[in-house]
Amino acid sequence: MSEERDHTTDRGRDGRGVRAPLGTERARSETAASDHSEMDRRDFLLKAAVVTLGTVTLASCDEATREAFFQQHFHEMSADDKAALIARHQAAYKEKYGLNFEISVKGPLDGVQYGYALDLNRCVGCRRCEWECARENNCSRDPEIHWIRVLEMERSHGVDVLEAEQYYAPEKVPVLDQFYMPVACHHCDNPPCVKVCPVTATWKEPDGIVVIDYDWCIGCRYCMAACPYGARHFNWGEPKISTPVACEELPAAEGALQTAAEYPRPHTRDCVNTNTHALGNVPRPLGVVEKCTFCIHRTREGRYPACVEICPVGARKFGNLLDENDEVRYILEHKRVFIFKEELNTQPRFFYYYG
Amino acid sequence: MSEPRPRLGLFLLALVILVGTIGFLLGIIADDKPKQTLTAGPMNPLPEGEVTEEGIEVPRPPFSKDIFPCSDCHSDMDVNPERRELVEEHTNIVLHHDEKNRWCLDCHNANDRDKLHLASGALVEFSESYKLCGQCHGEKMRDWRAGVHGKRTGHWRGEKRYLLCVHCHNPHSPRFEPIEPEPSPKQPEELFE
């Protein structure tokens, strides 16, 4: 008891605790070397300050920012992580658009390898695919982003990209002596874009779809330089989808196409598609790259991509290359098929044919 | 040598507080993860249509307004099999489909007006008019059956709907007419105007 009391008095006397009465020894230890112990303390205080500051900063962020900070690569996420990711994005989109988004993270289907074929003899260059794609995939309207570009070229020349025109605007299409070639992501089996990505933000899924994780993309645009098809697009501005109306609430553009007057005009359907996939058509942030995903949110549910369904001439074909009764398989076996820039050995999943 | 002990104690205390704070924060993050099902949204149902005898699902053929069934008018009329220019009814139809060799009753059935007929005389429904077209355009019909010519909507795996030949080609004048294109995309220099 008495010893304890001594301690208390010591402490009380000079406020520095037990060291006070041992002045001599203290001096000795200081000379001996502000060696280790002194430096260690300074060092420690500095580090503690940094860590505390970091912790406080992180703690003062809202929870969504904290979660985004700790988000893992899509491949390393558990089911719980993905659920959290979905909830976080849903909350953000709710705030931005006032709409409830369905966000799928559905993986590839077994026994499926997607393939796409486009009939160059049929395409009339009406650009309905281009605009329907932008609507279906929540592409920014301002600044405009289109995943599909339709090239107009001269029949007498054949496919000649240097002479191609993508800003054509005649009253009616097709124009005599011209042909039209829509180009989007070819979902190459040997994808140059995936090879150059320094952070693995883009990869080829087991079913053949090349996807981008928008939360992982650092916006370096190496992939855009690597892609020989010009299929990748960068969000230079904050993406805007001007009308915050869910597409389901607008009358459908589909229906029996009976006369030219009834062909849908997708550019007039300004709406937000709330049926999304995390690696596909979720609204993108500023500063990331985006591109066609074969409508991953539709195709993994067994549906045709939006461009296939809108095409008024039926030039677009989509299916499973492993199914011997599939239409794309039939095309590859029976039709004249043209592979764009075949010499680059990109091995596309997208084929042009002459039906 | 008894000295360093209190220092160490202080250090440990600070460390414990720090670790505790971080753990607490992580705890908040971990606890708030909501559990949620990972399914996609509802799919749009296919619009209404018909299923042919062969089991091919097609939308209703594109009849002119209020014109079908044909028997509504024709059942009370005598059949005039003579080739002639129609002046009272159906004047909007311009035949531009091998018109030198053919006429209405080469495809439309004279006795059962609500049906078409093949060269053999066999009757076919309007929803199976592709059989009639396929008599001459056999290659196109084969491609259509394989899903290579013409348009399909619905599911690449599962239910799909075929458009009939006549949904895209007017049977009386089948050439596909030029259509108005959607607007040009903006050129790069216009993007931020």
> Which member of B147, B158, B183 has the closest CB to residue A317?
B147
What confidence score (pLDDT) does residue A256 get? 44
Q: For residues A318 and A295, is the Cβ–Cβ distance under 8 A? A: no
Domain, as residue range, for A25: 2-60
Are both A170 and A238 inside the same structural domain? yes
Q: Is pLDDT at B9 greater than 50 in this prediction?
A: yes
Distance from CA of B9 to the nearest CA of A (A): 13
Q: Where are the domains of chain B?
A: 50-73+95-168
Distance from CA of A127 to the nearest CA of B (A): 5
Q: Across the interface, do B167 and A335 touch by the CB < 8 Å criterion?
A: no
pLDDT in tens, A38-91: 668 888 899 999 988 888 887 777 777 878 888 899 999 999 999 999 999 999
State the amino acid at position A127 in one-letter form: R
Q: Across the interface, do B156 and A318 touch by the CB < 8 Å criterion?
A: yes
Q: Across the interface, do A174 and B185 touch by the CB < 8 Å criterion?
A: no
Are both A88 and A156 inside the same structural domain? no
Q: For residues A207 and A114, is the Cβ–Cβ distance under 8 A? A: yes
Q: Across the interface, do A314 and B152 touch by the CB < 8 Å criterion?
A: yes
The reply to whether A204 falls in a domain is yes
pLDDT in tens, A247-294: 877 765 554 454 555 688 889 888 999 999 999 999 999 999 999 999
Phi then psi for A304, rounded to 5 degrees?
A: -75, 150
Are both A140 and A235 inside the same structural domain? yes
CB < 8 Å to A319, chain B: 156
pLDDT in tens, B108-120: 999 999 999 999 9
Q: Is the dihedral of CA A5, A10, A14, A17 positive or negative?
A: negative
- Which of A68, A301, A233 is CA-nearest to residue B188? A233
The reply to whether A68 falls in a domain is no
Are both A21 and A83 inside the same structural domain? no
Radius of gyration of chain B (CA): 35
CATH number at residue A284: 3.30.70.20
Are both A136 and A203 inside the same structural domain? yes
CB < 8 Å to B160, chain A: 304
Phi then psi for A193, rounded to 5 degrees?
A: -65, -40
Instruction: State the Cα–Cα distance between residues A353 and A121, nearest whole angstrom.
Output: 8
Q: For residues A120 and A338, is the Cβ–Cβ distance under 8 A? A: yes
The DSSP string of B108-126 is: B-SSSTT-EE-TTS-EE-G
The reply to whether A244 falls in a domain is yes
* SS3 state at A295: coil
Are both A192 and A265 inside the same structural domain? yes
Are both A99 and A236 inside the same structural domain? no
What confidence score (pLDDT) does residue B41 get? 27
Q: Is pLDDT at B26 greater than 50 in this prediction?
A: yes
The reply to whether A67 falls in a domain is no
Q: Is pLDDT at A148 greater than 60 in this prediction?
A: yes
* Number of separate domains in chain A: 3
**Angle separating helix axes A327-334 and B138-146, nearest 10 degrees:** 140
DSSP B181: P
Residue ending a domain, among A104, A125, A156, is: A104
Helix H, strand E, coil C: the string for A258-307 is CCHHHCCCHHHCCCECCEEECCCCCCCCCCCEECCCCCHHHHCCCECCHH
Q: Across the interface, do A335 and B146 touch by the CB < 8 Å criterion?
A: no
The reply to whether A208 falls in a domain is yes
State the amino acid at position A327 in one-letter form: E
Are both A55 and A31 inside the same structural domain? yes
> Which member of B3, B21, B179 has the closest CB to residue A19?
B3
CB < 8 Å to B4, chain A: 37
CA–centroid distance for A267 within its chain: 23
What confidence score (pLDDT) does residue A21 get? 46
Q: Across the interface, do B155 and A327 touch by the CB < 8 Å criterion?
A: no
Are both A78 and A216 inside the same structural domain? no
